[in-house]
Amino acid sequence: MDMKTVLKLWSVVALAGALTACGQKAPKAREGECCKDSQKTECCQKHEGKHCQEGQDCCKKASQKPACCKEGKGDASCKKGEGDASCQAHKAMCPSAAFDQIVATRRSVRSYDGTKTITKEQVCEVLAAAQEAPSWINYEPTKYYVAMSPDKIAAVKEAVGRNKDRLDGVSALIVSTFERSKSGFVDGVQRDPIGDIWGGHDCGLSTAFLILKARAMGFDTLIMGGRDADALRATFSIPENETVMAVIALGYRKDEPQRPPRRPFDEVVKFF
Ligand SMILES: Cc1cc2nc3c(=O)[nH]c(=O)nc-3n(C[C@H](O)[C@H](O)[C@H](O)COP(=O)(O)O)c2cc1C
């Protein structure tokens, strides 16, 4: 079995597991039992004032419907049932399982489908989620510089070395920076031995929100640490008090990316 088939199978099993995990079985109704107590259930709404048949699956809580794609609400990519396969899977799942699916399907994507584009409004939605990330005393030291115009995209591509070849078809290239002497500092005075490392921490945390929100909307990302910070600073007139961190590509995957293996769990997690 090749790796692609293994990954496909794995997604199906994960999805099935997720559905089982959240798909609480509705109790079987007893004659006349279903609609009493005027509970706000799908069944009660449908059968208002009527009795259910013995053994009918009933009284399923309306809240068990997936929150995200209900009645066309939720993420833009899920509206009206549109979107890619991951969105359709998302639609079929309860919210907590949807999160697991987002984590499981997020990958560093190195080939993009240029026939699909992400709008500025959608990029704003992704960045608004990034801004919701926690930060040191809520300083929010992270800044984003977004290239969406062809000339700026071309300029950023020139600043990411060999990564350039991985970026055909991207909709946006986002440069992340953080303001120094913010996180880890109070009134400009360093309050923690690691100082500005907290700024890098907060920037990474915000980026984590960004890439997961992007995946939730059916998009893909690549974080690139391989970049020419000086060239990017010049392109976007980034002030000297900001440290340039990464370039984040945003687009739609062209091919199914493979999951690189992770270290054994107990090598990175210790319980005491
Ligand atoms: C800070 C950081 C810098 C990275 N820089 C690059 C890069 O310059 N080029 C690249 O192709 N991938 C880059 N990556 C992606 C990693 O190689 C990738 O996250 C890792 O192999 C795990 O794969 P996954 O993201 O698909 O789980 C970077 C990731 C991070 C978090």
8 Å CB contact between 216 and 75: yes
pLDDT at 127 over 80: yes
The pLDDT of residue 98 is 87
The pLDDT of residue 82 is 43
pLDDT at 249 over 90: yes
Out of 109, 160, 224, 243, mutate this one to test ligand 1's pocket (max ligand atoms within 8 Å of CB): namely 224
225 pocket-lining for ligand 1 (C-beta < 6 Å): yes
The pLDDT of residue 87 is 47
The pLDDT of residue 33 is 55
Residue whose CA is closest, atom 1 of ligand 1?
Answer: 225
8 Å CB contact between 22 and 65: no
Q: Are strands 185-186 and 142-147 parallel, antiparallel or unpaired?
A: unpaired
181-234 tens-digit pLDDT: 999 999 999 999 999 999 999 999 999 999 999 999 999 999 999 999 999 999
8 Å CB contact between 177 and 143: yes
Report all structural domains of the chain as residue ranges with CATH numbers, in order of start. 10-62 (no CATH), 67-105 (no CATH), 120-251 (3.40.109.10)
226 pocket-lining for ligand 1 (C-beta < 6 Å): yes
The pLDDT of residue 9 is 43
| Number of the ligand 1 atom closest to the C-alpha atom of 109 | 26
Q: Residue 52 — very low, low, confident or very high, per pLDDT cuts 50/70/90?
A: low
79-101 tens-digit pLDDT: 444 444 444 554 544 456 689 99
The pLDDT of residue 75 is 46
100-110 tens-digit pLDDT: 999 999 999 99
Give 131 or 96, the one with higher predicted confidence: 131
Out of 7, 223, 255, mutate this one to test ligand 1's pocket (max ligand atoms within 8 Å of CB): namely 223
Report the separation in Å between the CA atom of 204 and the middle of ligand 1, taken as the mean of its atom positions: 12
pLDDT at 176 over 60: yes
* C-alpha gyration radius of the chain: 23
Give 90 or 249, the one with higher predicted confidence: 249
- Which of these ranges, 24-28, 35-39, 130-134, 162-166, has the smallest mean pLDDT? 35-39
224 pocket-lining for ligand 1 (C-beta < 6 Å): yes
- What is the average per-residue pLDDT within 114-126? 97
| Number of the ligand 1 atom closest to the C-alpha atom of 207 | 31
The pLDDT of residue 111 is 98
The pLDDT of residue 50 is 53
Q: Which two tokens stand for residue 201?
A: 């921490």
Place of tokens 């079985």: 25
* CA 56 to mean position of chain CA atoms: 38
Residue whose CA is closest, atom 31 of ligand 1?
Answer: 223
59-73 tens-digit pLDDT: 444 333 333 444 344
Q: How far apart are CA 204 and CA 93, in angstroms?
A: 28
- Which of these ranges, 39-43, 197-201, 229-233, 252-256, has the smallest mean pLDDT? 39-43
Q: How far apart are CA 226 and CA 161, in angstroms?
A: 7
163 pocket-lining for ligand 1 (C-beta < 6 Å): yes
77 pocket-lining for ligand 1 (C-beta < 6 Å): no
Give 256 or 20, the one with higher predicted confidence: 256
User: What's the predicted TM-score (pTM) here?
Assistant: 0.72
pLDDT, the chain, mean: 79
